[in-house]
Amino acid sequence: MAPKRYAAATRMGRLAKAKQFQLAANTISTIMDDQVIADAYVTLCVQAGIAAADVICCAKLGEHHQGENHNEAIALVARVDKTAASNLNVLLDLKTKSSYSPDLTSEADQKRAGRAAAALVSAAQSA
Indicate which CATH number applies to the domain containing 90.
1.20.120.330
Is the confidence at residue 5, as pLDDT, over 60?
A: no
How many of the other CB atoms lie within 10 Å of CB of 77? 28
Range of the domain at 100: 4-126
Which one-letter amino acid corresponds to residue 45?
C
Q: What is the pLDDT of residues 13-72, one digit of tens each?
A: 999 999 999 999 999 888 866 677 889 999 999 999 999 999 999 999 887 777 777 788
d(CA 49, CA 122): 10
In the chain, the number of structural domains is 1
| In contact, 28 and 37? CB cutoff 8 Å | yes
Look up residue 100 and give its DSSP letter: T
- Which amino acid is it at 37? I
**What's residue 33's pLDDT?**
66
